[in-house]
């Protein structure tokens, strides 16, 4: 018989040290779902129950154009760093190299993935006003197009060729950073309006997603984003979705990301923006500079916990989806703090989200004065609470009806309502009877 502890520190190491029963597994997690059954990862990640959709979790995949795919569950794919940008396809006027884009789409469709976001920029060198070697992904790519009719032609070609296969088009990537865009906010708004009109005429069901500013460098952000919003407003808001990138500073955590989301939402309100979906189209933690770099990658329960907190925070902050950067079939991606690859701790975080969040009803969160965050979910007549400390450790009383507590690595221990618990920054799930 397993004892029911009155005081727990709910991390994998603590569970092992105290000898509490662990119901974990290394591939997809084996903790019980809300109905008591094991949750198994599925290739399409589509939840069987109505509730929060799998599209809440977006993903970038390194090598997707060559057939790579994530074993972690997700419901939306963003194409970036896959050789699918304008400058990488229209190599000279009217000459298109569709191979990478075709490969990525065929691969996605073979996996049942139909929610695909494509980034339309960057500028080909032959149409660049300024050509700089520092431009990404190649010289001239950050330039405003010198011939706007070439932009119109490019958008027309893509929207016509991929009608019904690409579900959303993003205008530009990180347009407030000079190595991605060195034109003006007004010029970017003009490209947005032109693309919107073309796409809606050809494929009315496709979504048009705004250019995404990077929020971590506040100077470039403040110089670009309010002006871009003002220019979009003057053109009648020609977007279906607002987009941002919320990489915090290298030493930042989900709390720091939340502050960036608050900043973006305040700017949208100040601009009088309509109530449209907000997507975080690229994020991770521990990204090189600014801020002190972590001594090593964010690993273990911390990595899985950052993943889980990110997507539950999206529910708290009103973000409709976030695209994690990046799934790497080969393993480590040196620039990033949280590594997502087969068998990684981050992968387990995505499995926890599939089990804890997808297909459920979100019943709101509360943050106590102590810094304890509690979020409530329900599904098929069952309910549970996910809780964590915003920083450090905080005391917490297990909710009434608690029977089992699990961390994102599927390490579980029996408990009971009223038990004294020490929450850490790693979220845990309280199963309620």
- Give residue-wise pLDDT tens across range 212-232: 999 999 999 999 999 999 999
Instruction: Give the residue-averaged pLDDT of 271-300.
Output: 86
What is the structure's pLDDT at 32?
Answer: 67
What is the structure's pLDDT at 289?
Answer: 74
95-96 and 402-406 strand pairing: unpaired
Q: Taking the mean position of all CA atoms in its chain, how far away is CA 29?
A: 21
Alpha-carbon span 185 to 389, nearest angstrom: 39
Give the tokens for residue 149: 């009719």
Percent pLDDT > 90 in the chain is: 84
Burial class of 76 by CB neighbour count within 10 A (0 to 12, 13 to 18, 19+): buried
Alpha-carbon span 398 to 404, nearest angstrom: 10
CB 127: neighbour CB atoms within 10 A? 22
Mean pLDDT of the chain: 90
**Residue 143: is its pLDDT beyond 50?**
yes
Closest to 355 (Cα-Cα) out of 26, 39, 58: 39
Q: Which residue ranges form the domains of the chain, and what is each CATH number? A: 7-34+365-432 (2.60.40), 54-359 (3.20.20.80)
**Residue 99: is its pLDDT beyond 80?**
yes
Give the tokens for residue 249: 């500073």
DSSP conformation letters of 6-71 = SEEE-SHHHHHHHT------SSS---B-TTSSBP---SS---SSSSS-GGGEEEEETTGGGT---S
- In Å, how far are 60, 68, 307 from 63, measured between CA atoms? 9, 5, 22
What is the structure's pLDDT at 330?
Answer: 80
Give the tokens for residue 37: 């059954």
Alpha-carbon span 214 to 360, nearest angstrom: 31
Alpha-carbon span 340 to 303, nearest angstrom: 9
Q: Taking the mean position of all CA atoms in its chain, how far away is CA 154?
A: 27
Give the tokens for residue 68: 């790579």
**Residue 116: is its pLDDT beyond 50?**
yes
Per-residue pLDDT reduced to its tens digit, 395-419: 999 999 999 999 999 999 999 999 9
The helix or strand, by DSSP H or E, that contains position 303, with its residue range, turns out to be helix 300-317
**Residue 23: is its pLDDT beyond 50?**
no
Local confidence band at 295 (pLDDT 50, 70, 90 cut-offs): low
**Is the bond leading into 406 cis (omega within 30 degrees of zero)?**
no
Residues contacting 184, CB < 8 A, separation 6+: 144, 227
Residues 358, 54 contacting (CB under 8 angstroms): yes
Percent pLDDT > 70 in the chain is: 87
Closest to 218 (Cα-Cα) out of 278, 275, 266: 266
Instruction: Give the residue-averaged pLDDT of 287-298.
Output: 70
Local confidence band at 22 (pLDDT 50, 70, 90 cut-offs): very low
CB 35: neighbour CB atoms within 10 A? 11
Local confidence band at 30 (pLDDT 50, 70, 90 cut-offs): low
Phi, then psi, of 138 in degrees rounded to 5: -155, 165
- State pTM to two decimals: 0.91
What is the structure's pLDDT at 17?
Answer: 30
Residues 336, 286 contacting (CB under 8 angstroms): yes
What is the structure's pLDDT at 293?
Answer: 60
DSSP conformation letters of 101-144 = HHHHHHHHHHTT---EEEE-----GGGBSS--TTSSSSTTTTSP
Residues 52, 34 contacting (CB under 8 angstroms): no
Query: Nearest 5°: CA angle at 93, between 87 and 94?
Result: 105
412-414 and 402-406 strand pairing: antiparallel
Local confidence band at 18 (pLDDT 50, 70, 90 cut-offs): very low
Question: In this structure, what DSSP letter does residue 213 have?
Answer: -
Local confidence band at 181 (pLDDT 50, 70, 90 cut-offs): very high
Least confidently predicted of 179-193, 215-229, 330-344 = 330-344
């Amino acid at each position: 018989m397993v004892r029911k502890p009155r005081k727990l520190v709910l991390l994998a190491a603590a569970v092992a040290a105290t000898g509490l029963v662990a119901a974990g597994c290394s591939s997809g997690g084996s903790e019980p779902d809300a109905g008591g059954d094991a949750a198994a990862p599925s290739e399409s990640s589509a939840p069987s129950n109505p509730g929060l959709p799998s599209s809440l979790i977006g993903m970038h995949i390194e090598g997707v154009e060559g057939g790579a795919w994530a074993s972690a569950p997700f419901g939306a794919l963003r194409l970036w760093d896959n050789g699918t940008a304008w400058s990488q396809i229209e190599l000279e006027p009217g000459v298109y190299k569709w191979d990478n884009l075709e490969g990525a789409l065929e691969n996605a469709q073979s996996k049942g993935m139909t929610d695909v976001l494509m980034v339309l920029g960057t500028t080909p060198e032959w149409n660049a006003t300024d050509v700089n070697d520092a431009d990404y992904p190649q010289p001239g790519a950050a330039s405003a197009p010198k011939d706007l009719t070439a932009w119109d032609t490019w958008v027309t070609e893509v929207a016509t060729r991929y009608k019904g296969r690409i579900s959303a088009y993003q205008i530009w990537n990180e347009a407030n950073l000079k190595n991605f865009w060195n034109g003006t906010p007004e010029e970017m708004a003009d490209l947005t309006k032109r693309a919107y009109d073309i796409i809606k005429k050809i494929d009315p069901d496709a979504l048009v997603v705004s250019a995404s500013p990077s929020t971590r460098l506040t100077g470039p952000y403040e110089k670009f984003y309010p002006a871009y919003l003002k220019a979009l407003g003057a053109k009648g808001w020609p977007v279906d979705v607002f987009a941002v990138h919320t990489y915090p500073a290298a030493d930042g955590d989900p709390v720091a990301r939340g502050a960036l989301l608050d900043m973006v939402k305040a700017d949208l309100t100040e601009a009088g923006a309509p109530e449209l979906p907000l997507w975080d189209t690229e994020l991770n933690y521990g990204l090189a500079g600014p801020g002190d770099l972590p001594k090593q990658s964010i690993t273990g329960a911390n990595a899985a916990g950052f993943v889980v907190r990110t997507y539950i925070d999206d529910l708290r902050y009103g973000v409709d989806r976030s695209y994690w950067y990046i799934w790497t079939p080969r393993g480590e991606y040196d620039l990033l703090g949280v590594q997502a690859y087969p068998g990684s701790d981050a992968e387990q975080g995505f499995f926890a989200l599939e089990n804890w969040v997808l297909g459920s009803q979100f019943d709101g969160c509360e943050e106590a004065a102590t810094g304890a965050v509690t979020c409530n979910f329900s599904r098929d007549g069952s309910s549970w609470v996910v809780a964590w400390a915003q920083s450090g450790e905080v005391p917490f009383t297990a909710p009434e009806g608690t029977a089992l507590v699990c961390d994102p690595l599927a390490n579980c221990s029996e408990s009971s309502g009223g038990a004294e618990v020490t929450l850490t920054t790693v979220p845990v799930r309280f199963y309620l009877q």
